[in-house]
A and B are shown apart, each in its own frame.
Chain A
Amino acid sequence: MNFGLSEGQRMLKQTARDFLTAECPSSLVKEMATDDKGYSPELWRKMAELGWMGLAFPQEYGGTGGSFLDLAVLLEEMGHACLPGPFFSTVVLGGMTILELGDEKQKRELLPLIAKGELIITLALTEPGSSYSASEMMAEAIADGDNYIISGTKLFVPDAHIADYIICVAKTAQGAILFMVDGRNPGISCSLLKTIASDKQCEVVFDKVKVPEESVLGDLDQGWIQLQSILRRAAIAKCAEMVGGAQQVLEMTVDYVKQRVQFGQPIGAFQAVQHHCANMATDVETSKFITYQAAWRLSEGLPCNQEVAMAKAWVSDAYKRVTLLGHQCIGGVGFMEDHDLPLYSKQAMGAETAFGDADFHREVVAQELGL
C-alpha cells in the first residue's frame, strides 16, 4: 500500500497551490458569488494554458494524458482555494463523460475544444421528483424521425446558464438516454437558483427541444449503467474537492488558534480547542485516504462501487463536521460574512448533496453488503 503522491502529482499539486493562491484569492471567490457568469474568463484562460482542462484527456484528443487520479489531485487544490466557475461541470461532468461514452467523431470534435478552454459543458440529471432513480424520471425524449424531442424540467444543473452544451438525461421507450444538447437551443430556459454556496446551479426547462440522433451520447440501451458510471466519477471528484476544502478549513483554524490570545495565552493551548482541532485533523486525514482509495480504483479501472459510495458518504459528513468545528474555534469573527470560513461552510453544504448525499450512499453500501 502506498499512500503517497507520485513525483508528478506532487509537482502538479504544488503548481496548482501556488497558482491558485496567487490567482484565486478569497476576494475573487466572494466577487464571483454575485457575478452572473460565476467565473473569471481571464482565470479560465490561464487554467486552459496550464493544460488543466485536458489534464485527463489522452494526447490524441488535445489533452496531456494524465490519469483520473491526477485530476483528483488538481480538484483537491481547487477545493482548497474554493475555486468558483465551471471547471468541474465542464471537465468532470462534460469532458470525462464524452471521453467515456462519446463516439470517435464526438471525441475528436469536442475534447480538444474543452482542453483549450473554448467550451463549457454541464450535465442535467436531477429533477423535482427524482434524484437518481430511473423509474421516477419524468424528462422525456420522444423519437421523431431522425430526431428526438426532449421535454422536462431539470434542477440543480451547475453552470447551465453559460453552458455551450448540456448533457441531458431523458427517458425514452428504451430507458434513460444521454443527449448532448446545444445550450443555445431556443426551447431551453435556464434560471439561476439562489444557493447557499452561490455556485450557479440552475433550473433548466426543456420545452420540446429538438435534437438530432447524432446528439446521443453512448449506447442507446445502456443508459442507466452509463449514468451510474458518470455519477461515480462525479461523486468521487466532488470528494476530492471537499478534501481540499476541509484541509483549508483545518489550516485556517490552526493558524487562528495559534494567534488568538485570551486569558493570557493562545487559545490553541486550551484542551477543548486542541481536541476540536484533533477531531478536525482526524476527519481530514480519513477523508483524504478514503477518497484517494476510491479515486485510485476508478483511475485503475477496478470495480469501485462500494469504495466510491463509502467515500462520498464519509466525506459528505466529515467536511460538514470540520466546518462546524472550525466555526467553533474561530468564534465570532468566523461568523462574519467577510471572513473566509463561511465560503467553506457553504461549499460544504452544497457539496454534501451533490451526486448523492450521505444517506443515499450509505444505502448503496448497504446493498453492496448484501443486506
Chain B
Amino acid sequence: MEFRFTSEEEKLTKEVHEFMERERTPELLAETLELGAIYGGPEGRKICQKMGARGWLCPAWPREHGGLGTSEMIKLMILDDMAYMGLPFLFGGASMAGPAILRHGSEELKKEFLPRIAQGEVEFALGYTEPQAGSDLAALELRAEDKGDYFLLNGQKMFNTHCHVADYHYLAVRTDPDAPKHRGISMMVVDLDSPGITIRPLTTMASWRTNEVFYDDVEVPKRNLVGELNRGFRYVMTALDFERMVTIGMFRRLFDELVDYAKETKVDGKALGKNPLVRQKLAEMAIELEAARLLYYNLGYVLDRGEAATFHSSMEKLFACEVAQRVVRVGMQMVGAYGQLQQDSKWAPLQGELEFQYRWSFLHTIAGGTSEIQRNIIALRGLGLPTPTA
C-alpha cells in the first residue's frame, strides 16, 4: 500500500499545473461553466491544444498516437487538476471516441484521428441517446443502411451535448434491425458538416446548451465504421466504463471557495466558519470529497494493473456525483438567502456560481448513467446478484 504519488507523477503533474496556472484566463473559466464543462469552445481549444501539443491530453496513449505512454494514473491526475483549475474536463474525443478508435478502429482511422484527438485539434460529440433510448441504450433506432460503399443514415439523436462545438459525431447506429437489440448496433465516426445533419439547440435549466440532432439521408463512408459491424454495443459498454471515471475536481475547487467564504463572512456578528453547524457540514463535505478522491485514484490503480474497471467505475461515478450534489447543497445552505442570487446580480456570493451550480446539480445523478443504473451494475457485476426473471 502506498497512498502517495511517485516523484515522477508529481513532477509531471506539477509542470502541467504550473502551465494551467499561467495560461488560464477569466474568459476560459467563464466559457467552461457556460458550456457545462464540455470541450470544444474557442477558449478551451486555445489552452488545450497547447496542452495536447505536449501530450498532456491523452498522456496514457502511446507516443505514436500523440500520447506520452504514461500510466492511467497520470491521466487521471491531470484530468482532475484540469477540472480543479477551471478548464473543460468533458472530452468526447479524448475520453470516449479516442479510446474506442484506439482499441477497435482500423489503422486508417487511427492514423486519421488519434493524433488530432490527442492534440485537441478535433473534438467528438457522443451520439448515443435517442428520445426512446436513454438508460435502455440498446433500444436505439437511428438506422444505418448498407449501400455498398457507404452507409445511409436516418433518424434522430437526443441530448447530444457537444454537437454544437464538436467536429465529429461518435455515433451509435442500428445496422441490423432484425438481430436482437444489442446485437444489431455499430459505431461510426461522422463528420458533423455532412449534408443532411440538422442540429437543433435545447436549453437546459442550467442555461447551457444541449442538442437534438436529425439525420436525413446522411451518407457515411464505410471506412468510418469503428471496429466490427454489429458489435458496437459491446464497445459502448466499455466506453461507458471510461466515461464514468468522473473527476470531482470542479467541486473540490468550489468547496475550497466555500471554506474561504466561511472564514471571511460574518453573519450576526460571528464568522460563518465559527458556527458549529457550518463546521460540521463543511467537515462532512471535506471527508466525502476525500473518499471520492480515493475511489477515483483506485481506478488508476485498477487500470494500470490491466484489470477492467467495470463496477469500480460505476461505484466511483455514483459516489462522486452524489457528493457533488451535496457540496452544492451545503454551499446553498451555508449562504442562505444569498444562494438564490444569480451571476449578474448585486450581492451575489461567489459570483453567483452557487445558484448556477444548483440548477446544474440535478443532472449529475442522471447523465452518464443514472445512479439507479450504477447501483444495478454494482449489484449485478460487483456483488454477483441475480437478474430478475419475469
Chain A residues near B (Cβ < 8 Å) = 1-6, 9, 69, 254, 257-258, 264-266, 268-271, 273-275, 277-279, 281-282, 285-286, 289-290, 292-293, 296-297, 307, 310, 313-314, 359, 362-363, 365-366, 369-371
Contact of B383 among A4, A69, A254, A307 (CB under 8 A): A254
Provide the residues of chain A in CB contact with B282, threshold 8 Å. Answer: 366, 369, 371
Q: Is the interface of B mostly helix, strand, loop or mixed?
A: helix
Which one of B32-40, B101-109, B190-198, B293-301 is at the A interface?
Answer: B293-301
Looking at A5, A286, A310, the one whose CB has the most chain B CB atoms below 10 A away is A286
Provide the residues of chain B in CB contact with A297, threshold 8 Å. Answer: 3
Number of interface residues of B (CB under 8 A): 47
Which 9 A-B residue pairings sit nearest by Cβ, starting from the closest? A274-B379, A366-B279, A371-B273, A278-B375, A362-B283, A365-B283, A278-B378, A289-B294, A269-B388
A365 to B291, CA, bound (A): 14
Let me know if A3 and B386 touch, CB within 8 A: no
Provide the residues of chain A in CB contact with B380, threshold 8 Å. Answer: 274
A264 to B390, CA, bound (A): 10
Provide the residues of chain B in CB contact with A359, threshold 8 Å. Answer: 280
A275 to B383, CA, bound (A): 11
A264 to B389, CA, bound (A): 9
A261 to chain B, nearest CB (A): 11
Known: A266-B386, A365-B286. 12 other contacts (CB 8 A): A1-B298, A265-B389, A269-B387, A269-B388, A277-B379, A278-B382, A281-B378, A281-B383, A290-B290, A362-B287, A371-B259, A371-B282
Let me know if B263 and A370 touch, CB within 8 A: yes
Known A-B contacts A277-B383, A282-B378; A289 and B295 likewise in contact (beta carbons under 8 Å): yes
Known A-B contacts A274-B380, A278-B382; A1 and B3 likewise in contact (beta carbons under 8 Å): yes
Contact of A286 among B297, B319, B374, B379 (CB under 8 A): B319
Q: Is B262 an interface residue (CB 8 A)?
A: yes
Q: Is B310 an interface residue (CB 8 A)?
A: no
Query: Which residue of chain B has its CB nearest to the CB of A295?
Result: B1
A364 to B217, CA, bound (A): 63
Looking at B276, B295, B301, B375, the one whose CB has the most chain A CB atoms below 10 A away is B375
Provide the residues of chain A in CB contact with B297, threshold 8 Å. Answer: 1, 3
Interface string of B1-43 (1 = CB under 8 A from A): 1111100000000000000000000000000000000000000
Provide the residues of chain B in CB contact with A278, threshold 8 Å. Answer: 315, 318, 374-376, 378-379, 382-383
Contact of B385 among A6, A254, A293, A314 (CB under 8 A): A254
Let me know if B385 and A282 touch, CB within 8 A: no
Q: Is B372 an interface residue (CB 8 A)?
A: yes
Contact of A293 among B3, B273, B280, B379 (CB under 8 A): B3
A365 to B274, CA, bound (A): 13
A313 to B298, CA, bound (A): 21
A289 to B1, CA, bound (A): 10
Let me know if A292 and B3 touch, CB within 8 A: yes
B120 to chain A, nearest CB (A): 27
Provide the residues of chain B in CB contact with A266, threshold 8 Å. Answer: 386
A273 to chain B, nearest CB (A): 8
A266 to B318, CA, bound (A): 25
Q: Is B216 an interface residue (CB 8 A)?
A: no
Provide the residues of chain A in CB contact with B262, threshold 8 Å. Answer: 371
Query: Which residue of chain A has its CB nearest to the CB of B281?
Result: A362
Contact of A265 among B73, B274, B382, B388 (CB under 8 A): B388
A282 to B297, CA, bound (A): 15
A264 to chain B, nearest CB (A): 8
Let me know if B279 and A371 touch, CB within 8 A: yes
A249 to chain B, nearest CB (A): 13
A60 to chain B, nearest CB (A): 26
Let me know if B315 and A275 touch, CB within 8 A: no
B289 to chain A, nearest CB (A): 10
